Amino acid sequence: MSLLHWAILAPFIMAVFVPFLRKKAATIHTGWFVLILPVVLFGIFLQYLPVTMNNSSIIQTASWIPSLGINFTAYVDGLSLLFVLLITGIGALVVLYSIYYLSKTKESLHHFYVYLLMFMGAMLGVVLSDNVVTLYMFWEFTSISSFLLIAYWYNRDRSRYGAMKSMLITVFGGLMMLGGFLVLSIMGDTFSIRELAAQAPELNNHPLFLLAMILVLLGAFTKSAQFPFYIWLPDAMEAPTPVSAYLHSATMVKAGIYLVARFSPIFAFSGYWFWIVGAVGLFTMLWASFNAVKQTDLKGILAFSTVSQLGLIMSLLGVGAASLHFESLDDNIFTTAVIAAVFHLINHATFKGSLFMVVGIIDHETGTRDIRRLGGLMSLMPVTFTLSIIGAFSMAGLPPFNGFLSKEMFFLSMIQLMELNLFNVETWAVLFPVMAWIGSVFTFIYSMIIVFKVFTGKFQPEKLEKKPHEAPVGLLVSPSILAVLVAVFGLFPNLLSYSLIQPAAAAIVPSIIPPGEHLDVHISFWHGFSPELWMTIGVITVGILLYKFMPKWTGIYDYFPGKVTLNQFYNSGLYAAERGSNAITNAYMTGFIRSYLVYIFAFFIAALGFAIWAKDAFRYDASAAAPIGLYEVSLIFVLLAATITILLAKSRLTSIIALGAVGYTVSLFFVIFRAPDLALTQLVIETVSTALFLLCFYHLPKLSRHEEKRRFQAGNAIIAAGVGIIVTLIGISAHSSKLFASINEYYIENTYKKAGGENMVNVILVDFRGFDTLFEIAVLSVAALGIYGLIKLRLEKGGETNENE
Amino acid sequence: MEILMCIIAGLLFAAAVYLMLSKSLLRIIIGTGLLSHGTHLMLLTMGGLKTGAVPVLGEHASAYTDPIPQALILTAIVISFGVTAVFLVIAYRAYQEIGTDNMEQMRGMETDD
């Protein structure tokens, strides 16, 4: 266990102490104690920056289950460090924000911070694990803690619904991903991602390669809310706003992005990867930005915008996979996509985090997030207004903010795709920039909605629950820091180039970088009138026009019928699954013992009958059989007559007597077949049983042949006949194929010599196999005690016992 | 003889299963009784019939019947007696408490009332 491991586990350890802090130091907001941890962790992880800038990495291993090759291996390279800094940095800001957002008295803070710390630790574990099993473990921890956080206000229906939906979808993906990991580890015979990546070329030709890839991608797509799995994210907005800002914009939803980036060295050479990741990402971007425009809830807009931006990053990662097909680094234009993906990842975390916090402030200060009730807040909340302008303009891709730069690089990568002549891209290549451009237009529109519908227009105080005013300074600190970062990264993007972006990009596409060299990451603010600049200008022009005339064209949303949405599909699917399984269970769990016996016997007949037929197991060989004598035949007739009497008896007395007759005939059989002890026991026991039957006879009702339909009886008869036939067949086959001699010689020889007895059966019962007899005695005792209890003990409904005489 | 006994045991099984599938509790108990008889006969048959003297050394015979199945059956008889006794008392008590011995009315499901 190194410092790195303790850093990952620190949030979990801290989470244990949070409830105590809440009790001991009740006067201070618990968040202040929690805040220390992410700040310290951020500081610790900053120290790794020089290491990753040299494109080297750190590996620390702690044994967990060494015999299975499952170790807690922490691995720091550019990609993990980027995520770690996002998690701890934004984590610190979110905790700070939550201190002012959540009331000390009204909310159960200890729950909140325990869940949040669990989540933080889990996220650190996900991005720092090198072992796929530990990665999966932390992955599910994020799902669970996110579930707890979404349902933080658990007495609201919508919260519980959203939490369950996100749980079902992300856990589904998580399980698929586990399957993918296992397939991968079988293919590569290791659980370590680095070692898997090292044998990527061999894995590429493995027959299970595609299966592993699709399973891992399912995990990534569900977590990162890609089409069609994005539907949980808008419903997860029921969580407290700090949670939305942290989990659903900056960290958890990027776990899928991380997964795709981390596994790029393994999968990315495949054309499927390029197509699936690229196309799903791009379509998600277009679809979600289109849908974001029609939302009326601010957090709804932000949720869809998150989905759309994640799609953008995902598509860049997919397109970046093309770079692996070019040997030389100098003219490899597709590395732009990878760099753009990493850059936009950072940008999105900053501006989306700040936007969520801004929306939280608006909600906090006005009591609503509905854009139809908001308006004209500019003069009342000037600081919030400024922050939202910075965030939203960056999101829309306007200069001078960082979103502009990454959007330009996004366009550039999509345009460059037209030069690619791989994977049949040529025919479709033109669609990529077009879809990207349309998606960006919608992104522009909803970004403008966030700013201008809320802060300009008519102020409607009568629709607001509270009297709006500027937020306290504490709430504004975190979004301000993020907004400053948005602007700084926008104006000086090269602060990031070699510190964070280059090492992360190198981790995503390691194979194309010769040892000792660096990717050339230089983000220039201005590079002349290039096509991507014209595209941005087009986005702004068309976006402004569409925004101005919004009421004229929003009617097209009505053409999308409400019944065929994915949510509707999810809900009705869930409903149908519940109803369906309920119907199936009700259909076969009838509660009637006869049905279950029918299943059991039918299965018995089918399984054994099939086995006899399939294995050709039936044998008939009567040569070893004893001759048939007269006594036996006459006894058989008696037995059959008694049995038929039971079947046809109308009164219970007849059937009891007939059962007794069967028992006595059986004991006569024992006499003929030379089993005196059996005959004796059978006689006594049959007498006692018949006596017992007759005792109950007085109390039991007249053998009422409950009217049974003919078909019912016929079905019973068929099953009964089947069981009889199968038993007979097995008996005959078993008798006809004796495989080895009996061991009875030993008993015959040693009954007197060793045990000192002459009656072999009795010696076997008490000497050779005395244990059986011991427990048979136990059975009888238990039966006797049970009968006594059944008769004596009366438990009334209230649970009281009373002794009835 | 063994083949014939197999068929007899099969017939006992068939009768037992038919009784167990009926609606009356008493018939089900009688069915289990028949089932154990069938099983015991089958056990005895599988050991081989009439191949020697009674398994008591005092007979001084050259061959004895197999004592092992007999010991097994003896154990089985006692156990099935115990189970039948308990089953009967349960039936008696159930009839006392519920007032029916019709299995169709003794259903465990509350939803189907």
Can you tell me the distance from the alpha carbon of A107 to that of A185, in angstroms, rounded to the nearest whole number? 45
A587 touching chain B per CB within 8 A: no
Q: Using H for helix, E for strand and C for coil, what is the string for A450-508?
A: HHHHHHCCCCCHHHCCCCCCCCCHHHHHHHHHHHHHHHHHHHCCHHHHHHHHHHHHHHH
Domain boundaries, chain A: 270-548, 551-589, 593-744, 745-805
Given an 8 Å threshold on Cβ–Cβ distance, is B50 in contact with A626? yes
pLDDT of residue A245 exceeding 50: yes
Phi, psi angles (nearest 5°) of residue A297: -90, 135
Query: Which architecture characterizes domain A593-744 according to CATH?
Result: Up-down Bundle (1.20)
Can you tell me the distance from the alpha carbon of A764 to that of A747, in angstroms, rounded to the nearest whole number? 8
Q: Which residue has the higher pLDDT, A526 or A769?
A: A769
Interface test with chain B among A683, A719, A735, by most B beta carbons within 10 Å: A735
Phi, psi angles (nearest 5°) of residue A590: -80, -15
Can you tell me the distance from the alpha carbon of A215 to that of A29, in angstroms, rounded to the nearest whole number? 43
Given an 8 Å threshold on Cβ–Cβ distance, is B30 in contact with A659? yes
Residue A779 is nearest to which of B7, B55, B82, comparing CB atoms? B82
Q: For residue A441, give the 3-state DSSP assignment.
A: helix
Q: A253, A223 in Cβ contact below 8 A?
A: yes
C-alpha distances in Å from residue B51, one per residue of A386, A624, A682, A796: 105, 10, 22, 58
Positive/negative CA dihedral, A113, A114, A119, A120: positive
**Considering only CA atoms, which of A599, A643, A679 is closest in space to residue B31?**
A643
In this prediction, residue A801 has a pLDDT band, given cuts at 50, 70 and 90, of very low
A185-189 long-range contacts, CB within 8 A, separation 24+: A185/A132, A187/A212
Phi-psi region of A628 (alpha: psi -120 to 50; beta: other; left: phi over 0): beta
Q: A91, A250 in Cβ contact below 8 A?
A: no
Given an 8 Å threshold on Cβ–Cβ distance, is A779 in contact with B4? no
What pTM was computed for the model?
Answer: 0.83
A734 touching chain B per CB within 8 A: yes
Residue B95 is nearest to which of A624, A700, A790, comparing CB atoms? A700
In this prediction, residue A561 has a pLDDT band, given cuts at 50, 70 and 90, of low
Given an 8 Å threshold on Cβ–Cβ distance, is A674 in contact with B52? yes
In this prediction, residue B95 has a pLDDT band, given cuts at 50, 70 and 90, of confident
Given an 8 Å threshold on Cβ–Cβ distance, is A728 in contact with B7? yes
**Considering only CA atoms, which of A307, A343, A349 is closest in space to residue A86?**
A349
Q: Please list every residue in chain B whose beta carbon sits closer than 8 Å to the beta carbon of residue A624.
A: 2, 48
Per-residue pLDDT, averaged over A386-393, amounts to 90
Interface test with chain A among B25, B65, B68, by most A beta carbons within 10 Å: B68
Distance in Å, alpha carbon of A731 to nearest chain B alpha carbon: 6
**Considering only CA atoms, which of B109, B103, B108 is closest in space to residue B19?**
B103
- How far, rounded to the nearest angstrom, does the alpha carbon of residue A181 sit from its chain's CA centroid? 14
pLDDT score at A429: 74
pLDDT score at B27: 86
Q: Please list every residue in chain B whose beta carbon sits closer than 8 Å to the beta carbon of residue A643.
A: 11-12, 15, 34
Selection from A386-390, A623-627, A739-743, A793-797 with the highest mean pLDDT = A386-390
Interface test with chain A among B39, B66, B105, by most A beta carbons within 10 Å: B66
**Cα radius of gyration (chain B):** 19
Q: A298, A362 in Cβ contact below 8 A?
A: yes
Q: A763, B64 in Cβ contact below 8 A?
A: no
Interface pTM (ipTM) of the complex?
0.93
Kindly give the residue spans of alpha helices, DSSP state H, lying in A492-592.
494-496, 502-508, 531-548, 550-553, 566-588
Q: B23, B104 in Cβ contact below 8 A?
A: yes
Q: Is A634 exposed, middle or buried (0-12, 13-18, 19+ CB in 10 A)?
A: exposed
Question: What does DSSP say about strands A801-803 and A70-76: parallel, antiparallel, or unpaired?
Answer: unpaired
Q: Is A42 exposed, middle or buried (0-12, 13-18, 19+ CB in 10 A)?
A: middle
Residue A685 is nearest to which of B14, B77, B106, comparing CB atoms? B77
CA angle B51, B64, B39 (to 5 degrees): 65
Residue A717 is nearest to which of B18, B107, B112, comparing CB atoms? B18
**Considering only CA atoms, which of B18, B16, B51, B47 is closest in space to residue B30?**
B16
Q: Which residue has the higher pLDDT, A698 or A137?
A: A137
pLDDT score at A702: 56
**Considering only CA atoms, which of A402, A390, A121, A416 is closest in space to residue A252?**
A121
pLDDT score at A96: 92
Q: Please list every residue in chain A whose beta carbon sits closer than 8 Å to the beta carbon of residue B67.
A: 744, 747-748, 760-761, 764
Q: A601, A722 in Cβ contact below 8 A?
A: yes
Residue of A nearest to B102 (CA): A706
A489-507 per-position pLDDT tens digit: 888 888 777 788 888 888 8
Q: For residue A801, give the 3-state DSSP assignment.
A: strand
A764 touching chain B per CB within 8 A: yes
Least confident of A210-224, A555-569, A655-669: A555-569
Q: For residue A62, give the 3-state DSSP assignment.
A: strand
A625 touching chain B per CB within 8 A: yes
DSSP state of A626: P
Distance in Å, alpha carbon of A581 to nearest chain B alpha carbon: 16
Per-residue pLDDT, averaged over A756-781, amounts to 92
Q: For residue B60, give the 3-state DSSP assignment.
A: coil
Counting Cα atoms < 13 Å in the Cβ hemisphere of A596 gives 11
In this prediction, residue A668 has a pLDDT band, given cuts at 50, 70 and 90, of very high
A798 touching chain B per CB within 8 A: no
Can you tell me the distance from the alpha carbon of A306 to that of A289, in angstroms, rounded to the nearest whole number? 9
B8-61 per-position pLDDT tens digit: 999 999 999 999 988 888 888 899 999 999 999 999 988 887 678 888 888 788
Q: B4, A635 in Cβ contact below 8 A?
A: no
Residue of A nearest to B97 (CA): A794
- For chain A, the first-to-last Cα distance in angstroms comes to 70
Q: Is B60 exposed, middle or buried (0-12, 13-18, 19+ CB in 10 A)?
A: exposed
Can you tell me the distance from the alpha carbon of A470 to that of A780, in angstroms, rounded to the nearest whole number? 84
- Could you give the angle at which helices A298-320 and A335-366 cross, rounded to 10 degrees? 170
pLDDT of residue A800 exceeding 50: no
Kindly give the residue spans of alpha helices, DSSP state H, lying in A673-769.
676-699, 710-736, 744-753, 760-763
**Exposure class string for A479-494: b at 16+ Cβ within 10 A, else e:** bbbbbebbeebbeebe
Q: Which residue has the higher pLDDT, A651 or B112?
A: A651
Q: Please list every residue in chain B whose beta carbon sits closer than 8 Å to the beta carbon of residue A791.
A: 89, 93
Distance in Å, alpha carbon of A160 to nearest chain B alpha carbon: 28
Given an 8 Å threshold on Cβ–Cβ distance, is A724 in contact with B46? no
Tokens describing residue B38:
């069938």
**Considering only CA atoms, which of A478, A170, A659, A58 is closest in space to residue B30?**
A659
Tokens describing residue A430:
């033109």
A714 touching chain B per CB within 8 A: no
Given an 8 Å threshold on Cβ–Cβ distance, is A758 in contact with B57? yes
Residue of A nearest to B105 (CA): A592
Residue of A nearest to B71 (CA): A761
- How far, rounded to the nearest angstrom, does the alpha carbon of residue A162 sit from its chain's CA centroid? 15
Selection from A373-377, A454-458, A754-758 with the highest mean pLDDT = A754-758
Q: A403, A351 in Cβ contact below 8 A?
A: yes
Counting Cα atoms < 13 Å in the Cβ hemisphere of A469 gives 4
Residue of A nearest to B30 (CA): A659
Residue of B nearest to A791 (CA): B93
pLDDT of residue B73 exceeding 90: yes
Q: How many residues does chain B have?
A: 113
A68-82 per-position pLDDT tens digit: 888 899 999 889 999
Distance in Å, alpha carbon of A625 to nearest chain B alpha carbon: 6
pLDDT score at B25: 83
Q: B77, A682 in Cβ contact below 8 A?
A: yes
Can you tell me the distance from the alpha carbon of A639 to that of A662, in angstroms, rounded to the nearest whole number? 6
Query: To which residue do tokens 């949303």 refer?
Result: A557
Q: A445, A372 in Cβ contact below 8 A?
A: no
* Percent of chain A clearing pLDDT 70 (strictly above): 92
**Cα radius of gyration (chain A):** 38
Given an 8 Å threshold on Cβ–Cβ distance, is B89 in contact with A791? yes
Least confident of A160-169, A340-349, A546-555: A546-555
Residue of B nearest to A781 (CA): B82
Residue A598 is nearest to which of B21, B75, B91, comparing CB atoms? B21
Q: A143, A159 in Cβ contact below 8 A?
A: no
Given an 8 Å threshold on Cβ–Cβ distance, is A723 in contact with B13? yes
Q: A641, A657 in Cβ contact below 8 A?
A: no
C-alpha distances in Å from residue A74, one per residue of A2, A4, A13, A58: 9, 7, 18, 8
C-alpha distances in Å from residue B70, one per residue of A300, A728, B5: 79, 21, 16
pLDDT of residue A315 exceeding 70: yes
